[in-house]
Amino acid sequence: MDQRNFTYMFYGLAAVWAVLAIYVLTLVSRESRLSKQLNGLERMLSEKETRKG
Amino acid sequence: MFFRHSLAVAMKDLRSEFRTKESLNAAFAFAAMILVLFSFVVDVGDSEILYSMSGGVLWMTFLFSGALILNRSFAREQPNDCLDALLASPLSGSALWLGKALANFVMLLAVELFALPLFGALYNLTWTRSLGWLAVVLVLGAWGIAVVGTMFSALTVNLRLRELMLPTLIYPMLIPLLMGAIRLTTILISGQPITGDDWIWFRLLVGFDIIFTSLALLLVEVVLLG
Amino acid sequence: MREKILYALGLAGALLLLRNLYVILLQLPDESAQGAIYRIIFFHVPSWFTCFTGFFVAGVSSILYLVKKKPVYDTFAVATVEVGLVFTIIGLITGMIWARIIWGIWWTWDARLTWAFITCLIYAGYLMLRGAIDEATARARYAAVLCIFAFTSVVITFKAIEWWRTQHPGPVLSIRTRGGNMDPAMESMLYLNWLALMLISAVLTAVRMNQEGVLRQVEGLRRQVHASS
């Protein structure tokens, strides 16, 4: 078969990995965003506690 | 008892709607506007093309102007916390939903009855050639839109961006119904009989109505009462 | 312990995928009519199976949430939907690349493709709906209802190739055709790759569930901060 057939097969397989990689990256960025938020909120709460106490 | 309750809700909705006509008038005006806009999309000189696009044009019109009606369905109860009062009454959640679906169904039919002759007149089409079946398709389609629309109207009533979320959620949900309705309406307006392969669209229409009506009746209590 | 299991699952999935890739690329011969491009089927079909499985599990989990009202079912549903959506997109893209060669076009509006696209839109709407509701129990309740409604579209997508004459190829697996359409070696490779993708999606789902838990925690803390100020 011709060259194009072969190239597109690789595009197809690459697309699978690309989409998966993009999803993993979004998961990672969400992870860091959430942990940042969590830390910030916890700090805020403990500051308030100390001010009250 | 159940049906009497739903009928009462439906009558209440219709009466308050006909008193103010706020969403019906908007829906009529919007439907007319869409029909005008479609004249730029289609080649209005070619009646062959017009017939082949008639189903699509009509159902897009019903769908877009229907969204105005569906948006108001539960939002109507928001001022003065009417929804909470309705839920506190002996009315069951599914009876409330069925009543609202009935009211929306009637209003959607009104929009269809308004837009169909207008469409025929504006685009010079004879749409009356198989009126009986056309009426059946219109009724089945309107009921499907009313069922899904009322359900999601209840779901989105308290959201930010309610007006945006409702169409984004219901349009893809309604596509099976729309595909069937568009195909059948095109055939019927062109004056052909429904044959062989096209009966599957009819069965799809009926199946859609049955499945989503029962799903909604099952699940609506959860949405309204929690 | 839980993390170790996840690592093991992920590793098993990755190794299986590598081994499958080796077989697919170097051992299985080209298909007689389509040439090399047919190998896309080994990712196309399994990723659709993975997403159907995910959406099915999400639907069951949503029903369980509505019955039992335990937050964990909601967490499970959102994680499986999101991972399922990733595989939906993979399925759509691989299908389009295959179609470009075989049909000469990227897309055609036949019943199978149309419904696959609709399914993608509906589940994207599910995630949007979740984003629009702040209150956790209302969000879980509404999302569960939508998830059950949405599953009808998955069923139609799955059955579309039997109900309509589509440009999309008809069923090839022997469980649906009762045998004879496909070389057994290729068919077993489809299942093996499905297994690999399922392992990977299990890991992704677990990670996503964890994040949903953190999100709940963040929301709870935020309420606490508001209440105390």
For tokens 């709870």, what's the residue? C220
Judging contacts by C-beta atoms under 8 Å, the chain A residues touching residue C86 are: 19-20, 23
Would the pLDDT of C93 be above 90? yes
Full domain range(s) for residue C87: 37-215
Burial category of B103 from C-beta neighbours within 10 Å (exposed 0-12, middle 13-18, buried 19 and up): buried
Q: Which of C125, C138, C149 sits opposite B215 (nearest CB)?
A: C149
Q: What is the pLDDT of residue C179?
A: 64
Q: Among B151-160, C44-53, C76-85, C121-130, whose mean pLDDT is lowest?
A: B151-160
Q: Mark yes or no for CB contact B226/C141 under 8 Å.
A: yes
The beta-carbon neighbor of C141 closest among B161, B212, B222 is B222
| Interface contact flag, A9 C36, Cβ < 8 Å | yes
Task: Tell me the pLDDT tens digit for each residue of C159-193.
Answer: 888 887 778 887 777 677 766 667 777 888 888 99
Counting as low any pLDDT under 50, the low residues of chain B are none
Chain C's closest residue to B207, CA to CA, is C152
Q: pLDDT band at residue C31, thresholds of 50, 70 and 90?
A: confident
Compare CB distances from C148 to B148, B215, B226 and report the shortest one's residue: B215
Closest-CA distance, C158 to chain B, in angstroms, reads 14
Note whether C122 contacts B200, CB cutoff 8 Å.
Answer: no
**Residue contact B222–C145, C-beta within 8 A:** yes
Q: Structural domain boundaries of chain B?
A: 2-225
Question: How close is the nearest chain B Cα to the Cα of C118, in Å?
Answer: 6
Please report which confidence band the pLDDT of residue C111 belongs to, taking 50, 70 and 90 as the band edges: confident
Complex ipTM value: 0.85
Angle C4-C196-C23 (CA atoms, 0-180°, nearest 5)?
125
Query: What residue of C is the nearest CA neighbor of B152?
Result: C146
Confidence label for C35 from pLDDT (cuts 50, 70 and 90): confident
Distance CA B171, CA B59 (A): 12
* Residue C139 pLDDT > 80: yes
Q: What's the structural domain count of chain A? A: 1
Reported as a single tens digit per residue, the pLDDT across A1-53 is 578 888 888 888 899 999 999 999 999 999 999 999 999 888 888 888 788 76
Output Rg (C-alpha) for chain C, integer angstroms.
20
C133 part of a folded domain: yes
Q: How far apart are CA C191 and CA C46, in angstroms?
A: 7
Residue C36 has pLDDT above 90, yes or no: no
Mean pLDDT of C116-140: 90
Domain that holds residue A37: 19-53
Residue A46 counted as domain residue: yes
User: pLDDT value at position B111?
Assistant: 93
Going from the C-alpha of C144 to that of each of B155, C62, C73, C127, C149, the distances in angstroms are 11, 5, 9, 11, 9
Judge whether A11 lies within some domain.
no
With an 8 Å Cβ cutoff, is C101 touching chain A? yes
The residue among C163 and C81 whose pLDDT is bigger is C81
The answer to whether residue C134 is domain-embedded is yes
Name all chains with 3 or more CB-CB pairs below 8 Å to chain B.
Answer: C
Q: Confirm whether A47 is domain-assigned.
A: yes
What's the pTM value of the predicted model, to 2 decimals?
0.85
Angle formed by the axes of helices B131-156 and B47-75, nearest 10°: 40
Contact A35 C214 (CB under 8 A): yes
Q: How many domains does chain C have?
A: 1
Residue C23 domain flag = no
pLDDT at B195: 81
Q: What angle do CA B212, C212, C56 make, to 5 degrees?
A: 35
Asked whether residue C224 is assigned to any structural domain, the reply reads no
Assess B173–C contact: CB distance below 8 Å, yes or no: yes
Q: Is residue A1 part of a domain?
A: no
Chain A residues near residue C34 by CB distance under 8 angstroms: 1, 5
Chain C hits for B219, CB-CB cut-off 8 Å, are 66, 145, 148-149
Of B78, B75, B72, B96, nearest in space to B24 by CA? B72
- What's the pLDDT score for residue A1? 54
- Could you give the percent of chain C with pLDDT greater than 90? 44
Distance, in Å, from the CA atom of C200 to the CA atom of C207, rounded to the nearest integer, reads 11
B146 closest CA partner among B117, B119, B174, B113: B174
Cα–Cα distance measured from residue B51 to residue B60, given in angstroms and rounded to the nearest whole number: 15
Question: Residue C87 above 80 pLDDT?
Answer: yes
Chains touching chain C at 3 or more Cβ pairs under 8 angstroms? A, B
Quote the pLDDT of residue C229: 65
- DSSP helix/strand/coil, C35: strand
Q: Is the model's pLDDT at C63 over the cut of 90?
A: yes
Structural domain contains residue C112: yes
| pLDDT tens string C5-23 | 888 998 999 999 888 888 8
The answer to whether residue A4 is domain-embedded is no
